[in-house]
Chains A and B, each alone.
Chain A
Amino acid sequence: MVCQECKKKQATVHFTKIINGEKIELKLCESCAEQRGDLDFDGQQPFSVHQLLAGLLDLEEMPNVKGQTTTSNAGICKNCGLTEMQFAKIGRLGCTQCYQTFGARLNPLLKRVQGRSSHNGKVPKRSGGDIKLKREIEKLRESLNRYVIEEKFEDAAVLRDKIKALESELTQGGGA
């Protein structure tokens, strides 16, 4: 079979791509396939999520025109040594401390990728400490409000006392 692109050489590369749910099948010769850039001949990932993220970080730099983009090592993670430049290039963090170090750069990216930037889920039991208490109080407050609206004042009073107790536990630094 001849290559679908140059219609000259023998097609040796067959590949299938799904774009927006539509399946495209192509039979190409090696040089045409290479030119398309869809394939990876070096054993490296042709187009990874990390590259894509790094691209999004570059976008964040756009407002700083005329070479004013961050080129200094002002931001460098003291724990793992990842620099801001590296971070912007690879789109990945180097360690848990990086989330502090690169927080300002990271937040707009997280909003873009995740839609929101604040965690609302599970909290680790042992190291979660105060956060767990705070979440518990928040939850109880929501139920309390519901009881008030439903005029279940006795149930609301029980919750109010519970919240008070948890709050004093929190100010005493308990729960860790």
Chain B
Amino acid sequence: MSAEFASIRPALAEAARPAAPPRRRPVVAIVLFLALAAMPLAVSLGLPAHWLTLVTRALIFAIAALSLDLILGVGGLVSFGHAAFIGIGAYATGIMITEGRSEALLILPVILAACALFAAITGAVSLRTRGVAFIMITLAFGQMAYFLAQALSAYGGDDGLTLYERSTLAGFKPFANRTSFYYVTLATLAGCYLLISTIVASRFGRALRAARENATRVTVTGYDVGRIRLIAYVISGMIAGLSGFLLANQTDFVSPAFISWQRSGELIFMVVLGGVGSLHGAIIGALAYLFAEDVLSGWTEHWRVIFGPLIVLFVLFTRGGLVGIIGKLGGRRDD
């Protein structure tokens, strides 16, 4: 044991402390996923049918929110341009389907490569800065993607692109049926959840978390903080691209509005609503957000007048998001 290791230990120990107590974390996640898996059954037993569509949509956004939580919650980097990756995924899907290449096994590699490339380039520039400058630069790169989508006049430009067929998967048509679409989405979400929690628990994830608390200390220990953050950024972008693929298939439509900076703001809000840094929190946040939107917009077309102040009040008066509130209701205190 060298002295170097002694110096990193406090930082890593501190960083390894999860947002929620470790024992409860898998229980909440397992309950959550079981409840989600039973959703189509509940609909066949009499729950309103449009709930299945709504939850599918929420799960698609949950994938994006989850990927954002990897860099925002775990890495401490507030990326304000995350909707760009959803847009890249959605546009790659839309363009390839329009050009007659609707097989997901063709589309997905293109999406992953495009998102990885965009993340690598924009990440390399953005990660040179910290804090507020990082927020603003990611915002600006998101806008670049937005204007690029607007300029794609061959694919609808400002008006967006309507898709007349959905993607196939290895020759099958799982996206044509509402229930099978739901399960494909849920499986994708579960896969991403497992992948990201594995990453977070690994040495790499601990270093990423530790760098959030004290980048200098992590650097001194011999980790390349810049590279770790960039890799996390690229992984996060690729996963968000998957949600773009599903979103394009669900809405049969792709438009620049998918990439607007308000969309990136909504994703951040989903993560914070659920609880920053606890991965199942991002899923709960996405579900809560889309349900609130659905209920409020059912009341009035001016639902944002209610929703905006709700966000403000939520930020002012709660800490730790919904996961934190669930934890308090459970009667255990974290701090």
A binds B: no
Residues of B within 8 A of A (CB): none
Interface residues of A (CB under 8 A from B): none
